[in-house]
Amino acid sequence: MVFWLILALLTIAASLAVLLPLARPPRSHAPAAAHDLEVYRDQLAEIGRDRQRGLIGESEAEEARAEIGRRMIKLEATRIAAAPRTSMLVPIVTACSVLGVPLLSWGVYTAIGSPDLPAQPLAQRLEKDPRDNTLDELVARAESHIRANPQDGRGWNVLAPIYLRMNRSGDAAVAYRNAIRLLGSDPARETGLGEALFAEAGGIVTKEAADAFRRALAAGGDINPKARFYLATAQAQDGRLEDAITALTSLQNDLPQSSPWRGVIGEALARAQAELGTPAPVAGGPSRDDVEAAAQMNAEDRAAMIETMVASLDQRLRDNPADAEGWRRLVRSYSVLGRKDDARQALERGLKALGPESEAGQELRDFAGTLGLGAVE
């Protein structure tokens, strides 16, 4: 009841704020006209006094009176023409328009709204069974716990990777730092911190991120392919392409054939070699004849050839969506061509085809991250 009373008062106040200015009569120009008439009357009186003193003749006095009379008649006609014409239709239409909107809104809300629906404050929703909560509610529950227990290292440790997966890289970095401060450094936390800083910097391995990856390697040895990959990426971003190629080649040789990182590393290695001027053959890429033919083409024909090859790869993946290597090549091709939207769409299609939670899907997501593409759930 209180809600409806407040709503009614607010509606009345808003309506009056619009109606009152419209209900005021328009300003009249009567004061100015009255002043002019008073001046003319004074002039007539002055003419009479001049005639009595003999300063002007009778004919001159009559002509002056006639001229002033004409001016007074003209002034009166102008005042009457400028007087506002009042009409009852205008205020009626205005009132109906202003009052009709809230009345119509109330009627529609009463018919299709849910005024009796109970409130759903966040605190009550968080009291539900966690299995019935959405991801956002679970995160809110964890955040509420952390606010009440800021020294709970395990809580920070749980939140950090969730933040990272939700693309909240800044929050993830804070959570990883707190987890490391309270629970100590370990390879997983340091690697996660490095990833969060990498994402927060827009795909750049900053000095702080590189330091985190180095600490991860120091704590866990060289068995951490993610940390080694990002450090090699940092070398490539710094222009140390030969060092990056050496690091990536060493990492690729150390990984088993079944490792999901091999494809990502192979793509990064090919990019680094191409930038250095010693490109390595990529499986499924153009043949030597294609390369030689492209070298003889002009810019337009070469661009058309590249577009045709990319379109052919795209079509092949529609027919064979289980080709994880093909999805990486397609995402990279669109990215190199500057077609970021197409690259993101290819990433979404690839994750859908491979399964976002599968090893191949995670590998594709990690590879897209090295190209500066946002994570796709």
CA-CA distance, 341 to 349, in Å (whole number)? 12
| Model pLDDT, residue 132 | 53
| Model pLDDT, residue 291 | 46
Element (H, E) at 132: none
Element (H, E) at 359: helix 359-370
| Model pLDDT, residue 126 | 46
Low-confidence ranges of the chain (pLDDT < 50): 29, 122, 125-126, 279-288, 291-292, 294
At position 29, the amino acid (one-letter code) is: H
Please report, for residues 189, 195, 262, 369, 374, the alpha-carbon distance to residue 169 in angstroms, rounded to integers and kept in the order given: 14, 8, 26, 13, 11
pLDDT in tens, 50-80: 778 877 788 887 888 888 888 878 877 776 6
Sign of CA dihedral 362, 364, 369, 373: negative
Please report, for residues 120, 261, 295, 361, 363, the alpha-carbon distance to residue 350 in angstroms, rounded to integers and kept in the order given: 38, 16, 31, 7, 11
| Model pLDDT, residue 181 | 94
| Model pLDDT, residue 368 | 81
Phi then psi for residue 270, to 5 deg, are -65, -40
Is the pTM above the cut of 0.75?
no
Contacts of 338 (CB under 8 A, 6+ apart): none
Return the structure tokens found at 27: 């300003």
CA-CA distance, 80 to 68, in Å (whole number)? 19
| Model pLDDT, residue 277 | 66
| DSSP characters over 158-171 | HHHHHHHHTT-HHH
Q: How many residues does the chain have?
A: 377
Report the chain's terminal Cα–Cα distance, integer Å. 45
Domains of the chain: 128-223 (1.25.40.10), 281-377 (1.25.40)
| Model pLDDT, residue 184 | 93
